Structure 1
Amino acid sequence: MRLLHIITALVTVIVLLFIINENNSSEIMKYFPIDEEIQFTEASTDLSLLQQVSNDEYQIRWIISSKMPEPVYLRQDISLLYMDGNLKGIKGLWKEEERDIHLQLDFEESDSSHFQAISYHHGEVHYPNDIIKSVQSMSHDNLYVIDSPYSPLEAFQEGTTDLQKNWQETLDHATNQQLQFRWKEWIDAQQIDTNGYDLIPLTSLYIYTKQPIDGLSQEETDRVIGQLWEGLYREYILPVSNIKKTSHQIIPIILIDKTRDHLIVLFNDENNELKLLRQNI
């Protein structure tokens, strides 16, 4: 039964990765001006603890879902999952003349960890006279899983009990220490003066779904975010989704110029080499 379970999980992963990479030669995520006439009726990401598989492993369910009131020319959803700051997986799907997208993956993991997922939901709407517009949203979820021999298996989004708060603090400290060290290496390598930038991890980008970047309007923010995901999809997501092992891909860091002239994204590419993506604001 255990072998069957593992095989099923592997097949699911292979299918999802194939969906991401299918038709790479023509697949792109393109930003167009935001469509004010239509929007998502639902856009969500959900992480949940399903069950304890054995004394050493538990099962996590990862769901990405988005709905629109009517089919549009092109629908694309992409989600990135990080475990303790390291890339765990990528799920994505694009469909033509589609309204809704639903993706689900169950996987097994062990040890206490913090899972973070961020998703970008996108629709491309075509009108007469070659007018093309975008519909977009972001969603996220996070889950702390405590797998300790001294207490029952449990999961939470935000610690409420003393035990949960202690575990959350411990996991956050270990992850942040690793990320800050690596981000500083990247920044130093590019000789960037961080005094001139606001820094935000990719996993926190969702805050700008309905909140403008300081100094910008919501309309300007939506354009910046849409163009940013276009670049991330082309330069980071698609190349990394082609590799078999992603243990060295930590959460990218975004540096937003304080004068709001440009932004920079630093990340490890598919060859585990530092890459810089620059975008004018």
Structure 2
Amino acid sequence: MSNRNKKIIIYICCAFIVAIIFYLFPHFYSTTMREAFIYFPEDDQIEFIDASTNIKLIDTKDENEYYLEWKTASETDKKAYLRQDIGFIFENGVLISTQSEWREKTKKLKNKVTLHGEDSGRYEAITFHFAEVHYPDDIIKSKQIMTEDKHYVIDTPLSPLVDFKKAKSQSEQRGKELLDSIIDQQLTYTVEGLIEQFKINKESYHIFPLTEIAQFQTEPLPSMSQEETNAVIGRMWEGLYRYYLLGTNTFTEETYDPIGNTMPFVFLSKDDTHLLVLYETADKKGQQLLQLIPKSEDNENLSKNEQ
């Protein structure tokens, strides 16, 4: 057999194998290429009938080691073109795991992660549940909801390990307050360093950690309507997905492992023109996301253009 015929046979075999992969695994290509999350105008024709984020202690290995289970779930009242859940969990203010579950033409998503812990810890998780809906004439809309959970594990040499979401005794309350004080002090130190690094006038911003963003589902951001708030939050998660979850440097576009990032802090400008998201990587590199906030009339025009 000639070399030319051998090459032809090899090319045919390769093409055949690729075709089988795409036939048996229809999401293979789209999953590997899904590097963007896009917010679309809110859809009032679909609802989330269930959404949850839950952290619980599931096992203790010895006096100092234990295992936690972090579960997320969500369901819409009808199938969506795309369902996606994006989640972060922090131990003592530092990212220790992420979730990015997505599926086409479904109502339900469910995911579970087991985590190993040592010594006392404050565990905080937040999940962004998202549905993308397609209509005729290339109209695309979306629905979103956020859920969060917090869990404490208190481990001291003088008492057995205890865990709780809300302190039920004086000893649990003392352990919680001590842990909160240490963690919040460290986060404040990190944020103050970022403020200095990026030369930010903090008096010009409302500042809050990412884990508190879920409260603005039922109470709007300062000086905004609920509709405007939902749009701002949805677009903020676009940036978090690309840069924070996928580990993309906001200045160089180089990728890195995001585990070890500090908890993001949101800086909402008091003049409602923009917001910043600031955090630090495990190797102490400051990161800054900037999101411009369109005026109300611009938001309406943007929604029309997106449709």
> In 2, distance between residues paired with 1:169 and 1:70?
43
8 Å CA contact retained: 1:239, 1:270: no
Is the Cα–Cα contact under 8 Å of residues 256 and 264 in structure 1 kept in the other structure?
yes
The equivalent of 2:265 in structure 1 is 253
User: What is residue 206 of structure 1 aligned with on the other side?
Assistant: 214
> Distance in 1 between the 2:202 and 2:39 partners?
28
Larger relative contact order (C-alpha < 8 A, sep ≥ 6)?
1
**Hey, what does 2:20 align to over in structure 1?**
none
Q: Which residue of 1 aligns with 2:67?
A: 59
Which runs of no fewer than 5 residues in structure 2 stay unpaired? 1-26, 249-254, 294-307
For structure 1, the residue ranges without an aligned partner over 5 or more in a row are 1-18
Give the counterpart of 1:276 among 276, 288, 294: 288
Q: Secondary structure of 1:38's partner? A: coil
Deviation at 1:246, TM superposition (A): 2.4
Matches within 5 A, 1:63-102: 63-102=71-110
C-alpha offsets along residues 36-80 of structure 1, whole Å, 9 cap, x if unaligned? 111111111000111212222111110011011121111110110
Shift in CA distance, 69/245, structure 1 to aligned 2, threshold 3 Å:
closer
Task: Report the 3-state secondary structure (helix = DSSP H, G, I; strand = E; otherwise coil) of the residue aligned with 1:43.
Answer: strand
Instruction: Give the 3-state SS of the residue equivalent to 2:247 in structure 1.
Output: helix
**Bigger Rg over Cα:** 2
Deviation at 1:113, TM superposition (A): 0.7
Alpha-carbon contact 1:198-1:255 (below 8 Å) kept: yes
**How far apart are residue 243 of structure 1 and its match?**
4.6
Return the alpha-carbon distance in structure 1 between the equivalents of residues 31 and 247 of structure 2. 13
TM-score (norm 2): 0.80
Q: TM-score, normalised to structure 1's length?
A: 0.87
> What amino acid is the match of 1:46?
N
CA contact (8 A) 1:236 1:269 kept: no
- Equivalent runs, 1:126-205 vs 2, <5 Å: 126-205=134-213
User: What letter is aligned with 1:277?
Assistant: L
CA distance in 1, matches of 2:119, 2:56: 16
- Partner SS state of residue 213, structure 1: coil
Q: Is 1:42 equivalent to 2:50 in the alignment?
A: yes
Looking at structure 2, the residues matched to 97 and 27 of structure 1 have their Cα atoms a distance apart, in angstroms, of 19
Letter aligned with residue 291 of structure 2: Q
SS in structure 2 opposite 1:153? Answer: strand
Counterpart-to-counterpart distance in 2, 1:262 and 1:77: 25
Whether the 8 Å CA contact 1:64–1:103 is kept in 2: the answer is yes
Count how many residue pairs are aligned between Structure 1 and Structure 2: 260
Given the superposition, is the C-alpha separation of residues 197 and 75 from structure 1 closer, same or farther in structure 2, using an over 3 Å criterion? same
Aligned counterparts of 2:259 and 2:83: Cα–Cα separation in 1: 26
**CA–CA distance in structure 1, aligned partners of residues 198 and 35 of structure 2:** 31
Q: Secondary structure at the match of 1:35?
A: coil
What's the secondary structure of 2:143's corresponding residue?
Answer: strand
Contact 2:63 2:161 in 1 (8 A): no
Mapping 1:225-240, distance limit 5 Å = 225-239=233-247
Structure 1, 149-158 or 229-238: larger mean CA deviation: 149-158
Question: Is the deviation greater in 103-112 or in 149-158?
Answer: 149-158
Give me the CA root mean square deviation: 1.9
> What is the rounded CA distance, in whole Å, between the counterparts of 1:187 and 1:100 in structure 2?
40
Contact 2:88-2:126 at 8 Å conserved across structures: yes
**Tell me, what secondary structure is at the counterpart of 1:169?**
helix
Q: State the secondary structure of the residue aligned to 2:192.
A: helix
Shift of 1:271: 6.4
SS at match of 1:138: strand
1:157 Cα deviation (Å)? Answer: 1.3
> Aligned letter for 1:266?
L
Q: Paired residue for 1:115?
A: 123
CA contact (8 A) 1:243 1:270 kept: no
**Residue 244 of structure 1, CA deviation:** 5.0
Q: Separation in 1 of the partners of 2:283 and 2:47? A: 37
Per-residue CA deviations over 1:148-185 (Å, capped at 9, x if unaligned) read 23222221112231101111111001101110001000
